[in-house]
């Protein structure tokens, strides 16, 4: 099997957007969405966001829960590019810890979430999980388009006592 041709951003593309995204799918979670039919968004993120809305009745808590579930399952590729794969895997481990500690319904989960937030923001915000944030945004867009979330929102914003 021959080598897949690279695409030079300075020149005219020689392949379709989906073909180019397939080239990057192994190293970029957003590119993977184009290559696999948005599997992580539809099979994981949207259900997590929907369950979060049903369980908490709060938009902020549902968004955080969706974010945690996606980050726990998939190392953030922006963190991996900026800080290395080990740091991205550590972010996933910490997100799993928050969920295992019982967030959004426990004080221990709230403390774990606060610690994850501090760790992500440390060192000049260089552990920004921007890829995960983009996936959450896509999930929100889907729920808006489906009418599950309406504007103005029928859900309260604040996560209240749910984050500890």
* Predicted structure pTM score: 0.87
- The confidence band for 153, taking pLDDT boundaries of 50, 70 and 90, is confident
- The confidence band for 161, taking pLDDT boundaries of 50, 70 and 90, is very low
**Bigger pLDDT: 14 or 67?**
67
**Bigger pLDDT: 151 or 61?**
61
Per-residue pLDDT tens digits for 86-109: 999 999 999 999 999 999 999 999
| H helices, E strands: number in the chain | 9, 0
For residues 84 and 88, what is the distance between their CA atoms, to the nearest angstrom? 7
Contact 52, 60 (CB under 8 A): no
Per-residue pLDDT tens digits for 11-32: 787 888 888 899 889 999 999 9
Helix ranges, 74-106 (H): 77-83, 85-100
Q: Residue 6 region, left (φ>0) first, then alpha (ψ -120 to 50), else beta?
A: beta
């Amino acid at each position: 099997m021959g080598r897949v041709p690279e695409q030079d951003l300075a020149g005219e593309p020689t392949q379709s957007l989906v073909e180019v995204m397939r080239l990057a799918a192994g190293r970029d979670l957003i590119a993977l969405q184009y290559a696999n039919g948005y599997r992580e968004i539809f099979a994981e993120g949207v259900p997590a966001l929907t369950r979060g809305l049903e369980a908490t009745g709060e938009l902020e808590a549902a968004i955080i829960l969706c974010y945690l579930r996606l980050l726990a399952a998939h190392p953030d590729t922006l963190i991996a590019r900026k800080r290395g794969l080990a740091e991205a895997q550590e972010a996933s481990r910490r997100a799993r810890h928050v969920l295992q500690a019982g967030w959004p319904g426990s004080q221990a989960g709230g403390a774990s979430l606060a610690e994850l937030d501090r760790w992500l923001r440390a060192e000049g915000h260089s552990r920004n999980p921007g890829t995960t944030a983009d996936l959450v945004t896509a999930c929100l867009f889907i729920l808006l388009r489906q009418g599950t979330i309406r504007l103005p929102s029928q859900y309260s914003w604040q996560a209240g006592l749910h984050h500890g």
